[in-house]
């Protein structure tokens, strides 16, 4: 009896073991279609919904990254040498405001509208310099003079002499001065920086109106156009167009690579200003200052590279303002015959001449106005269709 019962029990236990694998296989097979269906739904849904979430996650990640970088920068990215100073005492920028020995300044300029006018000034051109300084001071500009002839005391006779900043270094061009005295952190408060030569006439020029046009047009680097009837013109793109407020390119017939047309995308056809009277926005100057090499003299080559500092498309952000124009007299000064004194009165007769061709350069010509040998326009006509649009 015992044996039989035991055997029956073994037989009864054996039967389920044989049936169980079959049941498991059938369950597994029934789950496969369900899993495939769910996977398909998830895949199709991810193609529609996932990009939005991915973008949100990406933004969230970038935001967190920027926030963490900013927090890290506050403690680590401080001006070199200031790391040991308390946070609130660090002054990373400056300005050119002159301070009284005692008390506060009598009159404060509005910071939001301030701009800086700098000028290479020799005593021989004191009449032209006087007119420019008076005009810019009257429009709330800070003015700095670079005395390349080493003469400063002779300017004391002008009523504005104590209102401007005088810097003197013999036989240095304005680019030498600019590199050493116009560091972006020093001029950070000024919205626009003018870096002009001294032989310019401003009878038809209004600084405030000029800046209004520059801001409206979005020009980061600019210059006023030249009056072709009275100016010494070196480059066709600088000639004033009488039917436009601003022009950004010039047109010149010529072969492939020599002419300028609507398809031109490089200087000097477009995205270019001459170095006699450039005007930089704060952001453009911060870039351009780093491009000025310590041994730069006449700025040849710099004009062709300013597109890097245009804060975008140089064909849009660099231009010549026609509505506010100047006269370029082309007086030889720095590097010229020291015994020769030139006055605007001596050139009244030549001012009325129509500029049909560029003047030939002579050995007595000022080095600061020597024509760049890389390119030169030889036929400047008073036809708006052949000048600028």
Average pLDDT over residues 343-352: 40
| 27: pLDDT strictly greater than 80 | no
pLDDT at 228: 94
pLDDT of residue 47: 58
Q: Which whole number is the average pLDDT over 320-344?
A: 74
The mean per-residue pLDDT over the stretch 135-160 comes to: 96
Cis-peptide into 268, omega within 30 deg = yes
221-226 and 318-328 beta bridge pairing? parallel
Residue of higher predicted confidence among 170 and 40: 170
pLDDT score of 12: 43
pLDDT over 70 at 343, yes or no: no
Q: What is the pLDDT of residue 56?
A: 54
Count of beta carbons in the 10 Å neighbourhood of residue 198: 24
Contact 130, 162 (CB under 8 A): no
Cβ atoms of 307 and 314 within 8 Å: the answer is: yes
Q: What is the mean pLDDT of residues 274-285?
A: 97
Q: Is 196 left (phi over 0), alpha (psi -120 to 50) or beta?
A: beta
Band (pLDDT 50/70/90 cuts) for residue 307 is: very high
Query: What's the whole-number mean pLDDT along residues 198-206?
Result: 96
pLDDT in tens, 74-107: 656 778 888 888 888 888 888 888 888 888 776 6
The per-residue pLDDT for 371 is 40
Q: Which whole number is the average pLDDT over 95-121?
A: 79
Q: Is the pTM of this model over 0.85?
A: no
pLDDT in tens, 171-195: 999 999 999 999 999 999 999 999 9
- Residue 16 Cα distances to 5, 10, 19, 23, 332, angstroms: 18, 11, 5, 10, 114
Q: Which of 25-34, 36-45, 59-68, 284-293 has the lowest mean pLDDT?
A: 59-68
Q: Which tops the pLDDT comparison, 80 or 165?
A: 165
pLDDT at 80: 81
Q: What is the DSSP string of 106-173?
A: SSPPPGGG--EEEEEE-GGGHHHHHHHHHHHHTTT-EEEEEETTS--GGGTTSTTGGGSEEEE-TT--
Which residue stretches of the chain are H helix? 2-76, 126-137, 174-181, 207-217, 282-291, 302-305, 314-317, 348-351
Tens of pLDDT, residues 51-60: 555 555 455 5
Q: Mind listing the domains of the chain with CATH numbers?
A: 111-386 (3.90.550)
85 CA to centre of own chain: 32
Q: Please tell me the distance from the alpha carbon of residue 190 to that of residue 389, in angstroms, as a whole number.
A: 31
CB-based contact 214:270 (threshold 8 Å): no
Q: Phi and psi for 226 in degrees, rounded to 5?
A: -105, 135
């Amino acid at each position: 009896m015992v044996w039989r019962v035991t055997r029956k029990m073994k037989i009864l236990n054996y039967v389920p073991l044989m049936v169980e694998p079959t049941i498991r296989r059938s369950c597994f097979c029934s789950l496969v279609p369900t899993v495939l269906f769910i996977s398909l739904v998830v895949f199709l849904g991810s193609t529609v919904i996932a990009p939005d979430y991915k973008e949100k996650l990406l933004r969230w990640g970038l935001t967190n990254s920027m926030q963490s970088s900013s927090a890290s920068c506050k403690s680590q990215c401080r001006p070199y040498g200031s790391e040991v100073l308390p946070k609130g005492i660090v002054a990373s920028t400056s300005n050119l405001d002159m301070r009284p020995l005692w008390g506060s300044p009598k009159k404060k300029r509005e910071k939001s509208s301030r701009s800086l006018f700098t000028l290479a000034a020799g005593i021989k051109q004191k009449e032209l310099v006087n007119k420019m300084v008076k005009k810019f001071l009257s429009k709330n500009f800070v003015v700095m003079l670079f005395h390349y002839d080493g003469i400063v005391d002779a300017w004391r006779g002008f009523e504005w002499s104590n209102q401007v900043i005088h810097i003197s270094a013999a036989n240095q061009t304005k680019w030498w001065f600019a590199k050493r005295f116009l560091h972006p952190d020093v001029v950070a408060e000024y919205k626009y920086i003018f870096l002009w030569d001294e032989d310019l006439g401003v009878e038809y020029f209004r600084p405030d109106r000029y800046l209004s046009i520059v801001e409206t047009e979005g020009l980061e680097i600019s210059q006023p156009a030249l009056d072709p009837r009275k100016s010494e013109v070196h480059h066709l793109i600088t000639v004033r167009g009488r039917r436009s407020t601003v022009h950004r390119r010039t047109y010149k017939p010529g072969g492939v690579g020599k002419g300028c047309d609507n398809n031109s995308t490089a200087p000097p056809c477009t995205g270019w200003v001459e170095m006699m009277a450039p005007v930089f926005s704060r952001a453009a100057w911060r870039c351009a200052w780093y491009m000025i090499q310590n041994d730069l003299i006449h700025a040849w080559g710099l004009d062709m590279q300013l597109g890097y500092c245009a804060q975008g498309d140089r064909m849009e952000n660099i231009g010549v303002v026609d509505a506010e124009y100047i006269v370029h007299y082309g007086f030889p000064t720095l590097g010229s015959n020291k015994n020769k004194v030139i006055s605007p009165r001596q050139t009244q007769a030549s001012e009325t001449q129509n500029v049909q061709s560029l003047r030939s350069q002579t050995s007595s010509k000022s080095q600061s106005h020597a024509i760049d040998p890389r390119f030169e326009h030889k036929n400047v006509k008073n036809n708006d269709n052949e000048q600028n649009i």
